[in-house]
Each structure stands twice: as C-alpha cells, then as structure tokens.
Amino acid sequence: MSSDAAHFTDFKSDTRPTWCPGCGDFGTMNGMMKALANSGSDPENTFIVAGIGCSGKIGSYMRSYALHGVHGRALPVGIGVKLANPDLEVMVAGGDGDGYSIGAGHFIHAVRRNVDMTYVVMDNRIYGLTKGQFSPTSREHFETPTSPSGPQQAPLQPLALAYSAGGTFLGQTFASHAQRHTETLEAAIEHDGFSLVNVYSPCVTFNDVDTYDYFRDAMVDLAETDHDPTDEATAKEKIMDFETVYEGVIYQDPDSVSYDNRLGLSGSMADLPDGAPDGIDQLVDEFK
C-alpha cells in the first residue's frame, strides 16, 4: 500500500455507533473498512448502501457516500449506483431478515445479474432491532418470545440459494475472526461480479444460542485445508453441506464477467457514448 493510500480509519465517521456492546456488527464493519482500504478504495470512490435493521446503521458509521434505504430494497439501489457510475466501489450491507426475507426477491435477481458489487450480510439468525423474532436463518427449534415452540421451519440456506441463482462468488466469515473476515472481503471486492459474503455476526442481546463461543467451535476454516474455490464440484459439496459451517471463499467462478463489463460500461454518466440521452431532461422528453 502506498503512503498516500487510504487507511482503514479513513473510512470511520465521527458518528458513535449505538449497537449493543459486544455486537458482532462492530467486527463486521471493521473488516469492511480494512478490506476497502487494502483493495485501494478510498471514501471518495466508495458507496455504501444499507438496509433496515441493526446493520442498516452502518452507512452512518462509515465515511463514504452512503444511502440508508427501505426494508429489503438496498440491492436494487446498489445496482443502480454501480450502473450509473461504474468507477465507484459499491458495497451493500444488510441483515439476514433484510436480505433473505423481505428482500429475497431482489437478492435472487441481484445474484443472477452479476453486477460488480459486494453484498455483506450480517447474519445473526434473529431479528435484533425489533426485539428478537426468528429470522429466515434461525434454527428450526429456536425459541423466541413470539415463537415459544420455535419457527418449526427449516432455516433458509443463503449460500445454496445464491448458488442456485447463478452466484459467481460465495464467501462466509465470522465477525470475530478478523483476519479471515478481512481477507474474504478483499477477495470479494476484487472479484468481477456480484459477491456475497455471509457474515456470522452474533447478537449478544437476543440470541443466546448462536453465540461467539458456538461459532468459534463450529467454524471450519477453508484456508487451512486444500480447498480450491474455483473447483465448482467440490465447492458445491460444501455449499450443500448444511451440517458444517465453513469459513472463507467457498466458491468463485474464475471466468466471471460482470453485467456492467458485459455492457461495456465505464466511467460515470458524464461519459455516456454519442447518441445517449444527455441528462434526465432529454430522457423525459423522449418518453412524452
């Protein structure tokens, strides 16, 4: 990194986080800032889009361009930002409820479009901001105040869902494993296409099952094995192994070409080719 390159602290805003002490989102955010700095981004060319929930506050805590959207709608905003100005590094952040429940429809289509952006999902397997209801990734028998007998549903499997939609980069991390978390996010940023990083980010207030201790014991670090994420067959085996919690880059399509690169997009809207609408006024006139 050159002396004039951004340091991860350059991405930290002056707004004090209001997350509960010990929340996994602190570690998730720190890794995001480090990965952005390490990959050569700076606050002036970074756009953070956040959804609703505890994780949705992250755009206020990071110094960059940012938008705090409505519930489940962060991904289409991020896609619009990236296609309007491909020079921006676009990172979308949300929770398991925001992305895999109300936002599931947008999630599937964002995956298959393969726009060059990174989606960081802070998966705490619960709705934290609304005081502890079960989420799409909660365990089948996870007891909450609103589900004393548990959801009685099999949890959604985010990596399998993304793979079935044509995902070209699937990663998974644990907020407390700082180095591996940062390295996986760096790989996601550098990937040409849509990158999903599912981050286990424990909720210390409402989830006493999926705790730091649980994930420390359960996570299997793929970097300490001979796993090759570009080998689709072996990657698929791990994606479909719902009994093991893997950590690292699980699958990466080495031949991925992002949607924006397929369209030949580069630069900002100021660099539109000859014959393209010159601003919103001309565009509106053409549709009158």
CATH number for position 35: 3.40.50.970
User: Any residues with CB less than 8 A from the CB of 120 and at least 6 apart, and which?
Assistant: 28, 32, 91, 92, 93, 94, 185, 197, 199
Number of structural domains found in the chain? 1
| Domain extent at residue 180 | 8-258
pLDDT band for 285, please (50, 70, 90 cuts): confident
- Residue 278 falls within a domain, yes or no? no
Within a domain: 285: no
Residue 270 has pLDDT above 70, yes or no: no
Lookup: tokens for 218: 């359960």
Residue 288 lies in a domain: no
Res 95 pLDDT > 60: yes
Residue 20 located in a structural domain: yes
The per-residue pLDDT of the chain, averaged, comes to: 91
Lowest mean pLDDT among 68-77, 102-111, 266-275: 266-275
Residue at 201 is within a domain: yes
Q: The pTM is what?
A: 0.91
- Please choose, from the candidates 214, 194, 195, 212, the residue with its C-alpha nearest in 3D space to the C-alpha of residue 26: 212
Evaluate whether 190 touches 39 at the Cβ level (below 8 Å): yes
Classify residue 162: in a domain, yes or no. Answer: yes
270 is a domain residue: no
Q: Which band of pLDDT confidence, cut at 50, 70 and 90, is reported for residue 264?
A: confident
The per-residue pLDDT for 110 is 97
pLDDT band for 71, please (50, 70, 90 cuts). Answer: confident
Is 57 part of a structural domain of the chain?
A: yes
